[in-house]
Chains A and B, each alone.
Chain A
Amino acid sequence: DTEVTQTPKHLVMGMTNKKSLKCEQHMGHRAMYWYKQKAKKPPELMFVYSYEKLSINESVPSRFSPECPNSSLLNLHLHALQPEDSALYLCASSQGQFGRPDTQYFGPGTRLTVL
């Protein structure tokens, strides 16, 4: 089983709203990732959690706030977003092992529209 689930599938929010994206995996993976993907562009890394600790933040604006409550769950809290933040937000997970393939498996994404 290589399934990563994400909710919601679609989200429309205003610039003053607060919302959260959720990601879950039950593969025993210890690394989880958030990516942002604009249309016809490759995914861009935002955050990496390794063993439930934030290990990489790619200089993402503070209006995006990640949270890893446990090894299976990853949240992305959104507040005061801008229209240019509209994109597909992808979650991924991997075993988290150095020196191994450590293949990342992606969820289906949340299509976010900011009005």
Chain B
Amino acid sequence: GQNIDQPTEMTATEGAIVQINCTYQTSGFNGLFWYQQHAGEAPTFLSYNVLDGLEEKGRFSSFLSRSKGYSYLLLKELQMKDSASYLCAVRILTGGGNKLTFGTGTQLKVEL
């Protein structure tokens, strides 16, 4: 089976840096995605990793270690609007095609 774990909740201060971890145990790994989801809205794509290392996109960076089954999302210069749920999703290649399996999600609260 597939197992993807994230912390349930995190709190951070505006202007600070926060790291959200994701660990996974899956078969057929074919990439890892991070999505942001505000309450009542659709998930929006943040980043993608398929090879080991760090991918940087503005205030957001994502890291992957395939041998450790580990990824993290790093958010810098936190803003109040970053308060949202952050979803780690592993893409798995199956006979029917690619499918995304989401982690439990991390609810981030940014405080003044």
Taking the nearest CB of chain B, how far is it from the CB of A4, in angstroms? 8
Interface size class of B (residues with CB under 8 A): 20 to 34
Contact partner of B100 (CB less than 8 A), chosen from A4, A45, A107, A111, is A45
Taking the nearest CB of chain A, how far is it from the CB of B35, in angstroms? 8
Cβ-closest chain A residue relative to B101: A45
Measured CA separation A44–B101 after assembly (Å): 7
Q: Which residues in window 20-36 of B have CB below 8 A to A?
A: 31, 33, 35
A-B CB pair tally, cutoff 8 Å: 59
Measured CA separation A45–B96 after assembly (Å): 13
- B7 proximal to A (CB < 8 A): no
Chain A residues contacting B43 (CB-CB under 8 Å) are 43, 90, 106
Check if B33 sits within 8 Å of A42, measured CB to CB: no
Check if B41 sits within 8 Å of A108, measured CB to CB: yes
Taking the nearest CB of chain A, how far is it from the CB of B34, in angstroms? 11
Chain A residues contacting B105 (CB-CB under 8 Å) are 40-42
List 6 A-B pairs, minimum CB-CB distance, nearest first.
Answer: A42-B102, A106-B42, A56-B96, A55-B96, A55-B97, A101-B48
Residues of A within 8 A of B (CB): 4, 31, 40-45, 48, 50, 55-56, 90, 94, 96, 98, 101-109, 111
Residues of B within 8 A of A (CB): 31, 33, 35, 40-45, 48, 50, 87, 89, 91, 93-94, 96-105
